[in-house]
């Protein structure tokens, strides 16, 4: 587990889905799938949430979201 934590401590996860158009398309495609799959007012557990880009988006849309991550930098 230390290897995983160390890797993410040294990686800019906050830029992963926003630094270029391909990554932005990944984000947009994923949230569209979420909108199609999750019922309104669903309770969502986001494990390995990273910086919370999906968790924050879902919370803003009214979902009850709990996010967790093992990387101290992301908590």
What is the rounded CA–CA span in Å between residue 6 and residue 63? 31
CA nearest to 43, candidates 55, 33, 52, 32: 55
Quick check: 8 pLDDT over 70?
Answer: no
11-15, 20-24, 70-74: which has the minimum mean pLDDT?
11-15
pLDDT band at 4, cuts 50/70/90? confident
Q: Are 26 and 17 in contact (CB under 8 A)?
A: yes
User: What per-residue string of b and e applies to 22-55 under the rule 16 or more CB within 10 Å gives b?
Assistant: eeeeeeeeeeeebeeeeeeeeeeebeebbbbbbb
What's the mean pLDDT in 1-23?
74
Q: What is the pLDDT of residues 27-75, one digit of tens each?
A: 999 999 999 999 988 999 999 898 899 999 999 999 999 999 988 777 6
């Amino acid at each position: 587990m230390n290897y995983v934590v160390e890797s993410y401590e040294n990686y800019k996860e906050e830029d992963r889905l926003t630094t270029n158009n391909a990554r932005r398309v990944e984000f947009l495609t994923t949230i569209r799938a979420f909108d199609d799959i999750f019922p309104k007012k669903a309770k969502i557990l986001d494990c390995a949430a990273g910086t919370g880009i999906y968790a924050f988006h879902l919370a803003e849309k009214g979902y009850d979201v709990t996010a967790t991550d093992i990387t101290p930098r992301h908590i």
